[in-house]
Chain A
Amino acid sequence: SQQGEEDPQALSIQEGENATMNCSYKTSINNLQWYRQNSGRGLVHLILIRSNEREKHSGRLRVTLDTSKKSSSLLITASQAADTASYFCATKYSGGGADGLTFGKGTHLIIQP
């Protein structure tokens, strides 16, 4: 089952604006990760935030984590056309003996030129 729920499911903004995506999860986590997927291709790791961290920055990305609300947000500042992609949050869980990631439903971001 999906661990994370993202909103919005789709977001269209003008180039240069900021984009904010939210993710909620259900169980306790050690960390939460954000990935980008361009046009149904492989995913690219963007940033990881640990459960004892509240905020993390990487270039134009800012991630926050609220473990009390089991939620995270990804902010992309000064958006560019190349940011058009789907964005997923993911958490690591242990279920059925596996050790893979559980992904949220994703936000499809479109940057209008």
Chain B
Amino acid sequence: SAVISQKPSRDICQRGTSLTIQCQVDSQVTMMFWYRQQPGQSLTLIATANQGSEATYESGFVIDKFPISRPNLTFSTLTVSNMSPEDSSIYLCSVDREPGKAFFGQGTRLTVV
């Protein structure tokens, strides 16, 4: 199994500000995934982060709003920029350590006021 440390676990932020979420994995992985879960909804993939290359964003998500860093094979950050109340969600990072089995961080519960 993979141990994924994600922080912060929660935050309350003012609109117009930015928040950077960190995800640390206990071993090297090729790809890291970032998901958003809006209140009462399912998870939606934001982007895939590969070390040494630009992240690949899903439709509806753009780099200016959700810049991602992947400086090495065990770490990634997701920034939620210029936040509005609509960005209030749980943000989760994930890795595939075994084929067909994703491991998730505990999530970051973001509230924008």
Known: A40-B107, A43-B102, A95-B58. A100 touches B42 (CB 8 A): no
Q: Pick the residue among A2, A40, A97 that contacts B56 (CB under 8 A).
A: A97
How big is chain A's contact interface, by range? 20 to 34
Q: Which residue of the partner chain A has the closest CB to B32?
A: A100
Q: Chain A interface mostly helix, strand, loop or mixed? A: strand
With a cutoff of 8 Å between Cβ atoms, the chain A residues found around residue B33 in the complex are: 98, 100-101
Chain B residues positioned under 8 Å from A26 (CB to CB)? none
B48 with A100: CB separation less than 8 A: yes
Within the complex, what minimum Cβ distance (angstroms) separates B62 from chain A?
12
B100–A42 CB distance below 8 A: no
CB-nearest residue of chain A relative to B105? A42
Stretch at the interface among A14-22, A58-66, A74-82, A103-111: A103-111
- A2 CB contact (under 8 Å) in B42, B58, B107: B42
Interface size band for B = 20 to 34
Chain B residue nearest to A86 in the complex (CB): B42
Query: B-side interface residues toward A, CB under 8 Å?
Result: 4, 6, 31, 33, 35, 37, 41-45, 47-48, 56-59, 90, 92, 94, 100-107, 109
Contact A100 B100 (CB under 8 A): no
Q: How many A-B residue pairs have CB under 8 A?
A: 71
How far apart are the CA atoms of A64 and B106 in the complex, in Å? Answer: 28
A105 to chain B, nearest CB (A): 5
Cβ of A97 and Cβ of B48 under 8 Å apart? yes
What distance in Å separates the Cβ of A57 from its nearest Cβ neighbour in chain B?
17
Knowing A42-B92, A42-B106, the reply to whether A92 touches B100 (Cβ < 8 A) is: yes
Which residue of chain A is the closest to B43 with respect to CB atoms? A103
A96 on the B face (CB < 8 A): yes
Contacts of B45 in A (CB 8 A): 98, 100-102
B35 to chain A, nearest CB (A): 7
